């Protein structure tokens, strides 16, 4: 009679065989591993590392990119964990003679969270106006993937997507699956998607990680601790708007500490309750951003395009934050940064914010709308 261990062993062997077979395919299109630092993408990265190490150096011909996205407003504990793992990977690659490239994508300087919210006055995100996902997650990583596709004609994106992850994920997998190992990406032309752990359960992922040390060194202990303390899971890599519901869901996921799409940030609460009390001001400030959004005195009457928008009943839809609100938010953010002792906004972002303020002030005097937001 087959045991649970036998079932997992068979499933793991099938995944390893798929990864090796695809790596040895006749074409030499580069691989791109979408790496969030969470359990699923970590398992995918580990399986690829192990496969490469088992091959003779002469057969490691296909380049592999490990690409992570940093929105620049990740929860500090998560950002530090991701940076540490990426640094560890980079440090071992030369000695192991692996054809690996490790990259971290970030939003463009003029499209960061704080530049848009404090600089342009965009209200903190809601489910109906989630302006952050595209600018901070989708665009930076998609541009990197497109550059690899342009250089090589095609690329294969490896994702730690699993059917069991959620009902939405199961529907997404079914929608884009054609019964083949590789499927065309929904929005990225020339990009094929490979999901090597799609049929693994959550328990199986954890069992494999706990049984196997990462080939880049260290252990998975910190990852386990992060999940335990956050009482949930990570916001995964998002590459198209169909995946956006996973960003800012009501479930307990860790991701951007500024996320006001969720009503309560249970993951940050978990971090604070597990001994990271210094992060509590982040929770309070996130709530502050949500409350300011609903204060009519903090919002302009017209959008940045100069147009006043109304609902069907004729009521006004508030525009961006006022200049006074933006200055207030920046001042309070800098106070929070000093309290928590973590970098929350860069000097470059502050320079960009003040540049936008100066342009907006000039346009206000001349009564001209912003061309970029028209």
Average pLDDT, consecutive stretches of 10 residues, N- to C-terminus, the chain (374 residues): 71 97 95 96 98 97 97 95 97 97 97 98 93 94 97 97 63 53 94 97 95 94 90 60 53 76 88 94 96 94 72 75 97 98 97 96 73 54
**Would residue 201 count as lying in a domain?**
yes
Return the percentage of the chain with pLDDT > 70, whole number: 83
**Would residue 189 count as lying in a domain?**
yes
**Would residue 310 count as lying in a domain?**
no
CA 282 to CA 308: how far, in whole Å? 33
Contact 142, 108 (CB under 8 A): no
Domain enclosing residue 116, as ranges: 4-273
For residue 24 the two structure tokens come to 């040895």
**Confidence at residue 250, expressed as pLDDT on a 0 to 100 scale:** 46
For residue 277 the two structure tokens come to 């009390």
Contact 155, 190 (CB under 8 A): yes
Contact 260, 286 (CB under 8 A): yes
Q: What does DSSP say about strands 64-69 and 191-194: parallel, antiparallel, or unpaired?
A: unpaired
**Confidence at residue 180, expressed as pLDDT on a 0 to 100 scale:** 80
CATH number, position 230: 3.40.50.620
In the chain, the number of structural domains is 1
Question: Of the candidates 104, 101, 65, 64, which has an alpha carbon nearest to the alpha carbon of residue 82?
Answer: 104
Query: C-alpha distances in angstroms, 219 versus 154, 183, 211, 215, 231?
Result: 34, 33, 10, 9, 20
**Would residue 355 count as lying in a domain?**
no
CB atoms near residue 364 (< 10 Å)? 11
**Confidence at residue 367, expressed as pLDDT on a 0 to 100 scale:** 65
**Would residue 266 count as lying in a domain?**
yes
**Would residue 291 count as lying in a domain?**
no
**Would residue 167 count as lying in a domain?**
yes
Contact 52, 89 (CB under 8 A): no
Question: Of the candidates 72, 51, 52, which has an alpha carbon nearest to the alpha carbon of residue 60?
Answer: 52
Contact 274, 254 (CB under 8 A): no
**Confidence at residue 234, expressed as pLDDT on a 0 to 100 scale:** 57
**Confidence at residue 232, expressed as pLDDT on a 0 to 100 scale:** 56
Contact 143, 251 (CB under 8 A): no
**Would residue 300 count as lying in a domain?**
no
For residue 144 the two structure tokens come to 């990197």
């Amino acid at each position: 009679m087959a045991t649970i261990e036998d079932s997992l062993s068979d499933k793991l062997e099938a995944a390893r065989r798929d990864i090796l077979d695809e790596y040895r395919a006749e074409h030499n299109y580069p691989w791109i591993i979408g790496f969030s630092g969470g359990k699923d993408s970590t398992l995918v990265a580990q399986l690829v590392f192990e496969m490469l190490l088992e091959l003779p150096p002469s057969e490691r011909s296909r380049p592999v990119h490990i690409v992570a996205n940093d929105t620049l407003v990740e929860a500090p504990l998560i950002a530090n964990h991701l940076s540490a793992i990426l640094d560890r990977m980079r440090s071992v690659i030369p000695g192991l003679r692996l054809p690996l490239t490790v990259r971290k994508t970030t939003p463009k300087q003029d499209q960061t969270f704080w530049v848009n919210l404090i600089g342009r006055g965009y209200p903190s995100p809601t489910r109906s106006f989630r302006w952050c996902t595209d600018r901070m997650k989708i665009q930076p990583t998609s541009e990197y993937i497109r550059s690899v596709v342009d250089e090589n004609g095609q690329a294969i994106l490896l994702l730690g997507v699993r059917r069991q992850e959620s009902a939405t994920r199961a529907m997404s997998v079914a929608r884009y699956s054609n019964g083949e190992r590789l499927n065309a990406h929904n929005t990225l032309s020339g990009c094929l998607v490979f999901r090597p752990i799609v049929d693994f359960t959550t328990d199986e992922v954890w069992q494999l990680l706990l049984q196997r040390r990462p080939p880049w060194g260290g252990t998975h202990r910190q990852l386990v601790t992060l999940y335990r303390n956050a009482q949930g899971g990570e916001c995964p890599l998002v590459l198209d708007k169909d995946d956006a519901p996973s960003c800012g869901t009501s479930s307990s996921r860790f991701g951007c500490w500024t996320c006001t799409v969720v009503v309560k940030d249970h993951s940050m609460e978990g971090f604070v309750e597990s001994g990271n009390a210094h992060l509590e001001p982040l929770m309070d400030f996130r709530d502050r951003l949500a409350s300011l959004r609903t204060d009519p005195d903090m919002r302009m009457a017209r959008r940045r395009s100069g147009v006043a928008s109304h609902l069907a009943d004729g009521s006004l839809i508030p525009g961006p934050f006022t200049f006074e609100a933006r200055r207030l938010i920046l001042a309070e953010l800098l106070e929070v940064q000093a309290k928590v002792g973590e970098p929350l906004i860069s000097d470059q972002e502050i320079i960009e914010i003040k540049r936008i303020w100066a342009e907006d002030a000039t346009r206000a005097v001349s009564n001209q709308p912003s061309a970029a937001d028209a």
